[in-house]
Chain A
Amino acid sequence: MSVVERPRSLQEQVTLLDLVDRVLNKGVVLTGDLTLSVADVDLVYVGLRVLLSSVASLERGREGDA
């Protein structure tokens, strides 16, 4: 049962990682004229945390497969 779920969970993790990476790091940058609204939040850190949790779950999935 969990074997069936694992690939989907990896796909979902990476999709979330890709979404957050795109939203936070890509797209048109207007700052310079406009201000960045995100007060006291390190967006790089947020993106990195998602990456780390994604990689961690990838590792877990692999161990489970073995």
Chain B
Amino acid sequence: MIHVYAFAEGLDALPAVTGLDGAELEQLSLGRVATVFSRRTRPTSAETVRRDALTHGAVVEALAQAATAVLPVRFGEVADDEGALAESLRRRMPAIVAALDRVRDCVEVGLRVWHEPPPREHAESGAAYMRRRLEGERRRRDTVGRLHERLTSIARDAHATVHDLDAREQLTAAYLVPAARVGEVRSLVNDFAARHHDLPVVCTGPWPAYSFAQEDAA
């Protein structure tokens, strides 16, 4: 069987990394799109899923460094052989090309914002506590919302989940950012983290555009 990693455009040479089970990477080119895969004899098992998923991620990452545009394929997609793969891709190619156009020159930045609740002051009454908590929740929602808006104005596309006010994680978001503007995103997030100690942030990336790969290619 063959395991598919990603679609790539502008790939001069395959990167010097190995795929699942140490197999060498291969490519199937249709028009300007290279489908990168490797061969294997056994499927992923419960014992190997963690390692296999990380290997898949490392291959996609290496492809993103080497190509001008990369569309990651979800882990676990396999074909019987190259013929079956080519057959499946032919019909999908217009959608895959459109999705590659959408993510070209962009990277994905992940953002998670938590809430660190302050310790309750024992002297205050129940009503005062509830009032203070409600005000805090409103302020947090505005603060996190403003950060999200500013990041969205830089991004070409964004997916965000704003969680319940009571949840520990306040915002989970992915931004499709032009590679040239990642520095702006970084300084906005750093500035936010420096100002709001009750809202710890973790910003990850730049990632290949996993969260923006699907829509048109489905």
Name A's B-contacting residues (CB within 8 A): 10-11, 14-15, 18-20, 22-31, 33-41, 43, 46, 55, 58, 62
Residues of A within 8 A of B114 (CB): 58
**A34 and B77 contacting across the interface, CB-CB below 8 Å:** yes
Kindly report which residue of chain A lies nearest to residue B159, judged by CB atoms: A26
In the assembly, what is the distance between CA of A55 and CA of B152, in Å?
27
Residues of A within 8 A of B54 (CB): 19-20, 23
In the assembly, what is the distance between CA of A11 and CA of B54, in Å?
17
Q: How many A-B residue pairs have CB under 8 A?
A: 123
Residues of B within 8 A of A23 (CB): 53-54, 56-57, 60, 72, 74-75, 210
Residues of B within 8 A of A43 (CB): 49, 75-76
A59, chain B: closest CB distance, angstroms? 9
Residues of B within 8 A of A28 (CB): 7, 71-74, 77, 96, 99, 213-214, 217-218
Most buried by B among A18, A27, A31, A40: A27
Stretch at the interface among B38-46, B120-128, B181-189: B38-46
Contact of B74 among A24, A33, A46 (CB under 8 A): A24
In the assembly, what is the distance between CA of A33 and CA of B53, in Å?
21
**A40 and B74 contacting across the interface, CB-CB below 8 Å:** no
Contact of A36 among B76, B202, B214 (CB under 8 A): B76
Contact of B78 among A22, A34, A41, A62 (CB under 8 A): A34
Q: Contacts A34-B78, A38-B43: A26 and B214 contacting too (C-beta < 8 A)? A: yes
Known: A27-B74, A29-B214. 10 other contacts (CB 8 A): A15-B204, A18-B204, A19-B207, A22-B72, A26-B74, A28-B77, A30-B73, A31-B76, A33-B87, A43-B76
Kindly report which residue of chain B lies nearest to residue A36, judged by CB atoms: B76
Residues of A within 8 A of B4 (CB): 30, 34
Residues of B within 8 A of A62 (CB): 116
Contact of B218 among A18, A26, A29, A39 (CB under 8 A): A29
B54, chain A: closest CB distance, angstroms? 7
**B74 and A29 contacting across the interface, CB-CB below 8 Å:** yes
Residues of B within 8 A of A22 (CB): 57, 72, 110, 207, 210-211
Most buried by B among A11, A19, A35, A40: A19
In the assembly, what is the distance between CA of A18 and CA of B202, in Å?
10
**B57 and A19 contacting across the interface, CB-CB below 8 Å:** yes
A66, chain B: closest CB distance, angstroms? 9
